[in-house]
Amino acid sequence: MRFIFLLIITLFMASCAKDNITLENDVDCTSDFQDHPKASALQAVADQYANDGFVGMTLLIDHPTDGLWMGSGGYASIENDTKMNPCHIHHTASLYKIYIATVIMQLVAENKINLNDPLSNYLASDITDRIPNGSSVSIKNLLQQRSGIPDIFEVAFITDFFNNPTKQYTIEELLEYVYDKNPLSAVDTEFHYSDANFSLLTLVIESIEGNFIQALKTRIFEPLNLTDTYFLENPTQTPVGLADSYWDRYGDGNIENNSDIQVALTAGLSGSDGILTTANDLKKFMQALTNGELVSNLALMTDFLAVPQEVQDREVYSGYGMGLMKVNISGEDWYGHFGNQIGSGAIVLYNANKDITFVALQNTGTFFSDEIKSKFFYQLLSDLEAIIL
């Protein structure tokens, strides 16, 4: 009797183990995609990166003739000995900007927003009066990162972060980091990547829709049936299947689990972060965006303006549209976005010429490691291009 009881408990626990996650994905998470003509080469890349500084890595390539390939290497959790699975959920950091830009463009199509309207048409003067260039900046300037507003995540934020890394911020509290500062440039004269631009756009959505999280759900997550995509509102309510997060703090190959901090940041950086998703859901979102299901005027979003050379050298991307980056490493244009965080990194890119979607999600911090950042945002795409193009 005791044996049967123990057997039942063991079977129950095994069914709950994280590497056997059963999500709502409409793909087989356990498939090795061996029918794909480049399966072994692509899997070798995932394994190689998981053996070279990245704890775990999930890659997805959707090619018009080769078809879909998804694969993972490394670990979702070192402590629990859980291998990374293509259906694990990941933090996406600044990929948030594509979702916000999408909702803004939907509101433009519905004539609820005019891109050339000043920000002050939507937000109260107690905010716009304290934002650098706040009286002259337009919605379009914010989307294009040409507002001249400094970034939130500079040294002052970072030192505060190290005194209280799990603090939960409101958008207004984060905007305090740029209030009353001098603008970096006049409006619409220079590109300056700033999370403050999208924090303000989030407030614009709230001013029209009431609640921006609800707007994301009703306008994007639900219509596309993104059942494995979550907006993390509370750090204690993480979904089952979320990969743990790690960082190599000193760049010396010693990996630490920083999941608690990463989860707190995803939930607590309101207006800059918050979306958790899987590779497959990210693919579905990107393809819906690029085939016109979500916005009617994609041409406006993909009207890329060149970014300064020093940004190109440091951050890889060469142009910025409206919530979308343009990336060209070896002659091929891709667009999408990078997500750079302390315990994760995310990429979603689309190649319009060849109709290829590329997603990479991994759980080692890129924000505080130039080496990991460069490998992930530059070397990985370069290696994959050699296989898939």
* Residue 293 touches another protein, criterion: CB under 8 A: no
Count CB neighbours of 328 within 10 A: 16
For position 309 contacting another protein by CB under 8 A, the verdict is no
Between 143 and 311, CB nearer to another protein? 311
How many residues contact another protein, by CB under 8 A?
Answer: 32
Minimum CB distance to another protein smaller for 128 or for 258: 258
Supply the minimum distance, in Å, between the C-beta of residue 369 and another protein.
5
Q: Of 260, 379, 389, 377, which is closest to residue 325 (Cα–Cα)?
A: 377
Which strands make up the sheet holding 67-77, listed edge to edge? Answer: 82-83, 67-77, 56-63, 356-362, 345-351, 333-340, 325-328, 319-320, 305-306
Helix or strand run (H / E) with residue 334: strand 333-340
253 binds another protein (CB under 8 A): yes
Given strand 90-91, what is the order of strands in its sheet? 90-91, 275-277, 230-231
Which part of the chain contacts another protein (CB under 8 A), choosing from 6-14, 37-45, 112-120, 162-170? 162-170
**Closest by alpha carbon to 202, among 141, 125, 129, 123?**
123
Report the residue from 15, 30, 111, 164 that binds another protein according to the rule CB under 8 A. Answer: 164
Cβ closer to another protein: 75 or 358?
75
Residue among 111 and 163 whose Cβ is closer to another protein: 163
- DSSP state string for 69-119: EEEEEEEEETTTTEEP-TT-BEE-GGGHHHHHHHHHHHHHHTTS--TTSBG
Examine residue 252 and tell whether it contacts another protein (CB under 8 A): yes
Rounded to the nearest whole angstrom, what is the least distance from the CB of residue 349 to another protein in the complex?
A: 24
Stretch of 15-23, 254-262, 289-297, 302-310 lying at the interface with another protein (CB under 8 A): 254-262
The span from the CA of 389 to the CA of 387, in Å, is 6
CB 84 within 8 A of CB 309: no
Tell me, residue by residue from 257 to 276, as one string, x for binding to another protein by CB under 8 A and - for no binding: xx------------------
Residue tagged 């190599």 (tokens): 248
Q: Distances in Å between the alpha carbon of 283 and those of 222, 242, 359, 371, 388? A: 15, 18, 7, 27, 16
Q: What angle do CA 367, 85, 385 make, to 5 degrees?
A: 65
Q: Which of 249, 297, 328, 332 contacts another protein by CB under 8 A?
A: 249
Give the residue with the Cβ less far from another protein, 84 or 232.
84
Residue window 39-78: x/- pattern of binding to another protein, with contact defined by CB under 8 A: --------x--xx---x-----------------xxx--x
Residue 251 within binding range of another protein, rule CB under 8 A? yes
Does position 345 bind another protein by CB under 8 A?
A: no
Binding site for another protein (CB under 8 A): 47, 50-51, 55, 73-75, 78, 155, 158-160, 162-165, 248-258, 367-371
